[in-house]
Amino acid sequence: MTKIKKYGLVAALVLPTIFTATNKAEASKAVKNSDKAAAVNVRSEAKEANNVIGLIDNDKAYEVIDNQNGWLKIKYDDKEAYVGSYWFNVVEEAKVINPANFRKDDHLESEVYQVLKKDDVVEVISYANNGFVKVVFEGKEGYIHESLLDLPESFANANKPQVVVANNNYTQETSYQAPAQNYQSSNQTHYEAPAQTHYEAPAQNYQGSSSSAKEIIAQRESGGSYNARNGQYIGRYQLSSSYLNGDYSAANQERVADQYVAQRYGSWDNALAFWNNNGWY
């Protein structure tokens, strides 16, 4: 499921809304954890041997190049070197790519602390609900929508919740024939799906897009079942349970899926194009 681009809803995310090319994300930084060590050896290789080339005994932040197998590759005195990751706190930073609302909570109705400027740098902590990321700016915690941050690849790869797709061998047809609208759950009850009408969310100026693209995604994600479950991902569109807010009804799944796609992609056609390239949306 992930990148926002649309009109009415985006106005709630950013003032003003003028999208430009993204800046390069800030690199991760490593700072020695003084509670664990007063000083840490800097090594020329990622192993403990006769390879010490320096010592870190300060609170300076060092750029992290890589983080693997208990070792951090860092920039040290203008060259690459290695330190044990256990002894360091790694801080991920990201640039704000367009003026962004810095919010108290992880939803569009929450209080806006302030509007951050393009190129402001925030410390990123974790993904939150509704596409927001928990960040720290000037010592204050809050939330910014992920689409307005140039997130480090290491953070996105390690933290981004993704839908696990059971079958990627779906062949898109030019004219898609939806299956019979009779869905069977594990307890042998039947659900009669609502008519395939186009959903228009209130006060959101977007086009819901092709119903065939929507149906294709539903089939790939869940086989079209409103009762499908895969860990925290629920229902026909395999939405996170936090998005559905405890309401797993078919109507709410349809409503939230439309809102999600409008917010992230602008249309179901765009969402399908992303799915085709990435195997998830």
Domain with 271, as residue range(s), is 182-278
Q: What is the pLDDT of residues 155-214, one digit of tens each?
A: 766 556 544 433 443 333 233 334 444 444 444 444 444 444 433 333 333 334 456 789
Please say which residue of 57, 76, 91 terminates a domain: 91
Identify the pLDDT of residue 266.
Answer: 86
- 123 with 15, same domain? yes
Q: Is residue 258 part of a domain?
A: yes
Domain count, the chain: 3
Query: Given the structure tokens 């928990």, which residue do they identify?
Result: 134
For residue range 103-138, list pLDDT tens digits in order. 999 988 889 999 999 999 998 888 888 889 999 999
Q: Is residue 1 in some structural domain?
A: no
Q: Is residue 230 part of a domain?
A: yes
Q: Amino acid identity of 140?
A: K
Please report, for the domain that includes residue 37, its CATH number. 2.30.30.40
- Quickly count: other Cβ atoms within 10 Å of residue 21's Cβ: 5
Please report whether residue 174 resides in a domain: no
Q: Give 47-72 pLDDT, tens digit per residue.
A: 988 899 999 999 888 988 888 889 99
Q: What is the pLDDT of residue 121?
A: 92
> What's the DSSP call for residue 30?
E
104 and 204 fall within a common domain: no
Q: What is the arithmetic mean of pLDDT over 219-234?
A: 87
Strands (E), 11-120: 29-32, 40-43, 52-56, 61-68, 71-76, 79-84, 88-96, 100-103, 112-116
Q: Which of 91, 112, 130 is the last residue of a domain?
A: 91
What tokens appear for 156 in the block?
């996105």
Cβ 54 vs Cβ 45: under 8 Å: no
Model pTM greater than 0.75? Answer: no
pLDDT given for residue 210 in this prediction:
57
Q: Is 102 helix (H, G, I), strand (E, B) or coil?
A: strand
Mean pLDDT, residues 5-26 taken together: 42
